[in-house]
Amino acid sequence: MSGSSRPPLRPSVCIAAEGDTHQDSRMTYVVTENCIRCKYMDCVSVCPVDCFYEGENMLVIHPDECIDCGVCEPECPAEAIVPDSDPAASDWIGLNERYAALWPNISVAKQPPADAAAMDGAPDKRNLYFSERPGDGDV
Ligand code: SF4
Ligand code: SF4
């Protein structure tokens, strides 16, 4: 895709080093590390309010749009979606909020990456593979 409209990129190490400490009274679900380079998109198909946003190699949930229904959580083959009350969400709440504001909305599932199964459960995905680049969204 064209890179002309992409926001400025920052090194992924900066993102990995930031503390995602934002949390307030809103309840939401959060996409976490194992989505990176798996991106199966089963979650997109079931969300009743279309609150997923697409990066180059993962999705995030918009915290102001998620209605906390929980439907997506069991649908994720990578078990990457957790409620924000889960300890596994703590490092990802800020990232979901930040990139939901930058990446395009996606409401229709696409084909996952060819190596999605091989990347399922791979270690240290955030440091090794996280990309700030937006995905294509609904096109
Ligand atoms: S189903 Fe899971 S792995 Fe696939 S895009 Fe949604 S959160 Fe990511
Ligand atoms: S919890 Fe419900 S509203 Fe929130 S992202 Fe999942 S399916 Fe969408």
- Residue 44 belongs to a domain: yes
* 42 Cβ below 6 A of ligand 1: yes
Top mutation candidate among 44, 59, 69, 107 for ligand 2, by most atoms within 8 Å of CB: 69
- Residue 135 belongs to a domain: no
Q: How far is CA 109 from the centre of its chain?
A: 14
Which residue's alpha carbon is at the smallest distance from atom 6 of ligand 2? 72
Q: What is 52-83 written as a DSSP string?
A: EEEBSS-EEE-TTT-----SSGGG-TT--EEE
Would you tell me how many other CB atoms lie within 10 Å of the CB of residue 8? 5
* 93 Cβ below 6 A of ligand 1: no
How many CA atoms lie within 13 Å of 48's alpha carbon, on the beta-carbon side? 5
Percent of the chain residues topping a pLDDT of 70 = 81
pLDDT in tens, 101-132: 999 999 999 999 999 999 999 999 999 999 99
Which residue's alpha carbon is at the smallest distance from atom 2 of ligand 2? 69
Which residue's alpha carbon is at the smallest distance from atom 4 of ligand 2? 66
CATH number at residue 77: 3.30.70.20
Residue 5 scores a pLDDT above 60: no
Q: Please count the structural domains in the chain.
A: 1
- Residue 81 belongs to a domain: yes
- Residue 131 belongs to a domain: no
Range of the domain at 79: 25-110
- Residue 71 belongs to a domain: yes
- Residue 120 belongs to a domain: no
Would you tell me how many other CB atoms lie within 10 Å of the CB of residue 112? 18
- Residue 132 belongs to a domain: no
